[in-house]
Amino acid sequence: ATTQNFPKAKRLYLAIRTGQQIYGIVGIPMEKQTQPDAFTSSVLFSLLGECALALDNLRNAREKEEAAVLAKNEQLRANLLRSISHDLRTPLTSISGNADTLLHSYDMLDEQTRKQIFTDIHDDAQWLTELVENLLSITKIADGSVKLRLSDQVVDDIVSEALRHIDRRSTEHHITVDCGDVPLLIRVDAGLIVQVLINLVNNAVKYTTAGSDICITAIQQKKAVEICVSDNGPGIPDELKERVFEMFFAGGNPIGDSRRSLGLGLTLCQAIIHAHHGEITLKNNSPHGCIFSFTLPLSEVNLNE
C-alpha cells in the first residue's frame, strides 16, 4: 500500500531489521492509500527498531549459549580423551606385562606367584569392564534412551544383591547393613539402583584404609526412602564437596588407587537417581568420614496385601 508496487495492496509492509539482518515483516492495515503522517511514522519506526534490537539481543544470547554448550562439549570430549589415554594406560600395560610373564615364564613361577598374577589381570580387566559400562550408562541416561524398568522391590534385597558384586577388597573393611525391622518397598529399576550402591560402596572401600567401618542404612521419609552409605574414613574437604558429582573429577585422594581415577561412578549415580526423580547428596560423617545419601520413591503397594 501507498507505493507504486502492488498499489491495490491493503497493507503497508515494513521490515523488522538491523543492518542486513531481517527478523520479520510487519503488515499494517491501510484503509486509505496514503502514507502515515510524520509523527505516526516516527513512532512506528521507533517501535520496529526496538523490536529489531530486542530480537538481535535474543539472537546474540542464543548464539553465546550455543557456543558455550559447544565449548563445554569439546572440553568434556578433551577431558575424556585425556583421562582415558592417561588412566587406561596403566591397567592395559599391567595386563599386557602380566600376560607376557605367564606366556614366557609360566613354568619358572611358583603357584602363589601365578595366582597373584592371575588376580592382578582379573582386577585390571574388571575395572576396564566397569569403566565401559559406566560410560555407556551415562551416555544412555543423558540422551534419554534408557527406559526405566520400574518394579516394586524390597530395599533389603537390593542391598544384598549389591553386596554380592562389590570390590573384593571389601573383605578388609567392616560392612554393616541396617534397613530397619519393617521391610521397605520402593518403586525402582532394580538393576540401576544396584549399580548405584555398588559404586558408592566401592568408593568407600577405595578411599578408606583397611579396617574402616562402612554402614548402609535405609529409613522411610514420608513417601520416599532414604538410603545412606557412610564411612569413617578421612572424608572429603569442604571445598571439593560441590565437585564430587562432576564427570572426571576424582578428588586426588592419595588413599585411593591413583590409576582408577576417571571419576565416572558418582556422575552415573547422580544420573540414575535423578532419572528416578530422587536426590543424592554428600555430607560429613561424625567425627570424620562421608555420608552419601539418596532418596527413592516409596511403592504404593502394601506388603501386607
Look at residue 303 and tell me if it is in a domain. Answer: no
> Can you give the pLDDT at residue 264?
67
> Can you give the pLDDT at residue 256?
42
13 or 228: which leads in pLDDT: 228
pLDDT(134) > 70: no
Look at residue 97 and tell me if it is in a domain. Answer: yes
Look at residue 74 and tell me if it is in a domain. Answer: no
Three-state DSSP at 284 gives strand
Together in a domain, 156 and 293: yes
Last residue of a domain, one of 142, 166, 182: 142
pLDDT digit string (tens) for 71-106? Answer: 887 776 776 666 666 657 767 888 999 999 999 999
Together in a domain, 138 and 203: no
Least-confidence region, from 7-11, 53-57, 78-82, 148-152: 78-82
Query: What's the pTM value of the predicted model, to 2 decimals?
Result: 0.61
pLDDT digit string (tens) for 235-269? Answer: 888 888 888 887 666 655 444 444 444 466 788 88
> Can you give the pLDDT at residue 48?
92
Together in a domain, 165 and 133: no
Together in a domain, 99 and 181: no
> Can you give the pLDDT at residue 257?
45
Are 288 and 235 within 8 A, CB to CB?
A: yes
Task: From 202, 215, 235, select the one nearest 131 (Cα to Cα).
Answer: 202
78 or 150: which leads in pLDDT: 150
Residue length of the chain: 305
Least-confidence region, from 48-57, 163-172, 210-219, 224-233: 163-172
Together in a domain, 287 and 190: yes
Are 288 and 232 within 8 A, CB to CB?
A: yes
Please give the tally of structural domains in the chain.
3
Look at residue 30 and tell me if it is in a domain. Answer: yes
CA distance 201 to 246: 18
Together in a domain, 260 and 188: yes
pLDDT digit string (tens) for 23-62? Answer: 999 988 887 767 778 888 889 889 999 999 999 999 899 9
Together in a domain, 185 and 273: yes
> Can you give the pLDDT at residue 157?
95
pLDDT digit string (tens) for 289-304? Answer: 999 999 999 988 765 5
Look at residue 223 and tell me if it is in a domain. Answer: yes
> Can you give the pLDDT at residue 84?
62
Q: Which of 4-8, 130-134, 162-166, 223-227 has the highest mean pLDDT?
A: 223-227
Together in a domain, 136 and 38: no
Look at residue 73 and tell me if it is in a domain. Answer: no
> Can you give the pLDDT at residue 117?
93
Together in a domain, 290 and 211: yes
Cβ-based burial of 256 (10 A; exposed 0-12, middle 13-18, buried ≥19): middle
Confidence of residue 156 (pLDDT cuts 50, 70, 90): very high
Together in a domain, 137 and 175: no
198 or 144: which leads in pLDDT: 198
CA distance 107 to 271: 48
Are 62 and 30 within 8 A, CB to CB?
A: no
Look at residue 70 and tell me if it is in a domain. Answer: no
> Can you give the pLDDT at residue 202?
87
Backbone torsions φ then ψ of 102, nearest 5 degrees: -65, -40
Query: For 190, which DSSP code?
Result: H
Together in a domain, 126 and 51: no
Confidence of residue 227 (pLDDT cuts 50, 70, 90): very high
Q: Chain-wide mean pLDDT for the chain?
A: 83
Backbone torsions φ then ψ of 207, nearest 5 degrees: -105, 15
Look at residue 102 and tell me if it is in a domain. Answer: yes
Containing structural domain, residue 116:
88-142
Three-state DSSP at 105 gives helix
> Can you give the pLDDT at residue 246?
78
Say what the alpha-carbon torsion angle 133, 139, 140, 141 is, to the nearest 10 degrees: 100
